């Protein structure tokens, strides 16, 4: 029997081929890509790339004058992984793989596993050494292991780094770098009271207008805002300030850019070969082949890479429905049914179960969040119970019903009253997060403020009562940047938020309101610790459609600090408003939208209300409260 060739620790060996071929090499990113290593006394870089159908591959870069013949790679079987060691390659050196296809063509590709990329419009990969990154967030990482999203507050500030704020210094983009953004955003987020930040578009992408949703470098934080070390510094800084970090993650599709994953070795390597499965007709992008072990491994290891190597606290998985349904965005004749004749992608279902089991199994306290827009069952159900295993699901149904209701003239709201209560009929079928995301304030959908009916005071007052209802409703919360101070214009990635609006009282007042709601949410267990049970939510009156008033209670586990919400969605004052309550107790007013700092009239009113034995809302006790137009009152008892 032939003796197996002894390999160096950094080299691709038989076990690597086997595990990658089985789809279980969860740290394959430590082997594929470019890695600084030492071969004896010689320092250099080990390059490894999976190109199964290539005729030949070589490394081209600044260090060899982009010469296709200078550094040819050796093919490893059985998977077709090409490798080579090149001495004395400097840090940040640019490189690509020059691939000779079986048709005789030569194509140049960026490294799918590169950790750093050339600033766009350049498309080369860069050599970098992640082992130099240092962390000082051990306290955060230790407590994360015991963090349970089901019983903890979670209010998310969704942000796009490139357009949050910009430097007015004459530079072409004016981007804040990762470190500058972290320092400024931490101050703002702590002041406002959010618990997490969710960052759009971090993985490297060629086109700004894709917002980061068409990725070419899955293992590289975009160089628009700095180096991988800068990116890690940002995560570390958020953690030291007790702010969790969620990244948007895009396994649904990838672009056709010549340097990217599409037709990587001249053939469909990462995508389905059949265009009826492998292309999104609406988006003009490629679809990952979830039937290939190596492709599933690429994605699962990528999810682990962000969470384990960069300490990210969770991934929000984009466009899950487009992955699950074979006919998503496709007409008859444009899609292929599964083996049972159905429209479900069985391979993708298996992928999600594997992904979530591994990521959450290895990283207790981390989050996997599905942006899933249909009624697919058990998205957050346990894999053992045939669920997909996500931690949370974006509640797109609530978002649609809520925005459609809020757009209505208050006169017509009574006809759509149950838009606002319907979500509670399925609220505990999944673990939900309520979202008003970037998708709702682009493409002529208007900003949140300009969705509101009326003019002047009415618009701002409508938005305030809407936000209060959202904060009181069961489920975690997410709000897109700029909407917390009532941005007037739709969001654009090309300009910073309209911070100048905070020179105007109305915008400061909305910001004050959102800030106080967020802090109220974070400090009151009734708002979150029973988010997944009817024990935590109780309608007082869900049927007052003629007056368009909703009242409900959020219960804490120990019953010591419960909260009663009253929300008036019309401009009609209700001086005689009476609300039914469960006990003959005192009810303390803790948030009142009529306060001057929120744009109200500031009318003096008692802070404590004593329930009397007077039937109302089907309850034996009640108290009266002077409810102003679009009034919100939150009472603690």
Q: Please name which of 511, 515, 512 lies closest in space to residue 498, comparing C-alpha atoms.
A: 511
Residue 148 burial class via C-beta count within 10 angstroms: exposed 0-12, middle 13-18, buried 19 and up: exposed
Residue 594 burial class via C-beta count within 10 angstroms: exposed 0-12, middle 13-18, buried 19 and up: buried
Cα distances from 166 to residues 161, 311, 393, 527, in angstroms, run: 9, 26, 32, 35
Q: How many CB atoms lie within 10 A of CB 442?
A: 16
- Copy the structure tokens of residue 205: 């992408």
Check if the beta carbon of residue 8 is closer than 8 Å to that of residue 40: no
Distance CA 116, CA 223 (A): 7
Residue 172 burial class via C-beta count within 10 angstroms: exposed 0-12, middle 13-18, buried 19 and up: exposed
Residues in a beta bridge with 317: 249, 370
- Catalytic annotation present for 531: no
Q: How many CB atoms lie within 10 A of CB 21?
A: 16
Cα distances from 130 to residues 21, 61, 114, 491, in angstroms, run: 26, 20, 11, 34
Which DSSP state fits 513? H
Question: Which of the following is catalytic: 100, 118, 289, 371?
Answer: 371
- Copy the structure tokens of residue 532: 């997944």
Q: How many CB atoms lie within 10 A of CB 466?
A: 23
Instruction: Classify 602 in phi/psi space as left (phi over 0), alpha (psi -120 to 50) or beta.
Output: left
- Catalytic annotation present for 404: no
Check if the beta carbon of residue 216 is closer than 8 Å to that of residue 165: no
Check if the beta carbon of residue 405 is closer than 8 Å to that of residue 473: no
Element holding 506 (H helix, E strand) = helix 505-523
Question: Which of the following is catalytic: 204, 318, 347, 484?
Answer: 318
Give the active site residues: 318, 371
């Amino acid at each position: 029997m032939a003796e197996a060739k002894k390999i160096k620790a950094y080299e691709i060996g038989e076990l690597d081929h086997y595990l990658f071929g089985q789809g279980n090499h969860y740290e394959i990113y430590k082997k594929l890509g470019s890695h600084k290593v030492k071969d004896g006394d010689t320092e250099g870089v080990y390059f490894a790339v999976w190109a199964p159908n290539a005729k030949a591959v070589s490394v081209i870069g600044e260090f060899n004058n982009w010469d296709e013949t200078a550094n040819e790679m050796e093919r490893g079987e059985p998977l077709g992984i090409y490798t080579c060691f090149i001495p004395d390659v400097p840090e940040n050196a640019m490189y690509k793989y020059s691939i000779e296809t079986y048709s005789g063509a030569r194509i140049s590709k960026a490294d799918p596993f590169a950790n750093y990329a050339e600033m766009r419009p350049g498309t080369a990969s860069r050599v970098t050494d992640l082992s130099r990154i240092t962390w000082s967030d051990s306290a955060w990482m230790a407590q994360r292991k015991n963090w349970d999203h089901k019983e903890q507050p979670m209010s998310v500030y969704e942000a796009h780094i490139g357009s949050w704020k910009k430097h007015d210094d004459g530079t072409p983009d004016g981007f804040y770098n990762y470190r500058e953004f972290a320092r400024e955003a931490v101050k703002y987020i702590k002041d406002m009271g959010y618990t997490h930040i969710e960052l759009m578009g971090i993985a490297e992408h060629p086109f700004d207008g894709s917002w980061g949703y068409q990725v070419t470098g899955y293992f590289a934080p975009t160089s628009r805002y700095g180096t991988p070390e800068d990116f890690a510094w940002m995560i570390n800084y958020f953690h030291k300030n007790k702010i969790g970090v969620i990244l948007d993650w895009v396994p649904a599709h990838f672009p056709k850019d010549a340097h990217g994953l599409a037709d990587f070795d001249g053939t469909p390597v990462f995508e389905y070969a059949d265009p009826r499965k492998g292309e999104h007709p609406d988006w003009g992008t490629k679809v990952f082949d979830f039937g290939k072990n190596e492709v599933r491994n690429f994605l699962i290891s990528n999810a682990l890479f962000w969470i384990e190597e960069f300490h990210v606290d969770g991934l929000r998985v984009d466009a899950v429905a487009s992955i699950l349904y074979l006919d998503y965005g496709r007409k008859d004749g444009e899609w292929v049914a599964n083996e049972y004749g159905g429209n479900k992608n069985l391979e993708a279902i298996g992928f999600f179960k594997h992904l979530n089991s591994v990521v959450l199994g290895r990283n207790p306290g981390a989050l996997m969040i599905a942006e899933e827009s249909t009624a697919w069952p058990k998205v957050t159900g346990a894999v053992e119970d045939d669920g997909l295993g996500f931690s949370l699901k974006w509640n797109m149904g609530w978002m649609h019903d809520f925005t459609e209701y809020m757009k209505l003239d208050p006169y017509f709201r009574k006809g759509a009253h149950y838009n606002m209560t319907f979500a509670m009929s399925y609220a505990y079928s999944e673990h939900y997060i309520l979202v008003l995301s970037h998708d709702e304030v682009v493409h002529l959908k208007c900003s949140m403020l300009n969705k509101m009916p009326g003019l002047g005071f009415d618009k701002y007052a409508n938005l305030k009562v809407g936000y209060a209802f959202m904060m009181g409703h069961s489920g975690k919360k997410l709000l897109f940047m700029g909407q917390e101070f009532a941005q007037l214009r739709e969001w654009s990635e090309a300009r910073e938020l309209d911070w100048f609006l905070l020179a105007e009282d109305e915008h400061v007042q909305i910001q004050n309101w959102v800030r106080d709601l967020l802090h109220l949410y974070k400090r009151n267990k009734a708002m979150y610790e029973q988010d997944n049970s009817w024990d935590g939510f109780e309608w007082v009156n869900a049927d007052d459609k003629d007056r368009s008033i909703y009242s409900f209670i959020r219960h804490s586990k120990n019953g010591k600090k419960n909260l009663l919400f009253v929300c008036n969605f019309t401009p009609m004052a209700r001086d005689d408003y009476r609300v039914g309550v469960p006990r003959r107790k005192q009810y303390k007013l803790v948030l009142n939208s009529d306060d001057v700092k929120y744009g109200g009239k500031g009318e003096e009113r008692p802070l404590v209300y004593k329930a009397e034995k007077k039937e109302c809302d089907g309850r034996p006790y009640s108290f009266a409260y002077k409810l102003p137009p679009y009034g919100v009152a939150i009472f603690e008892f």
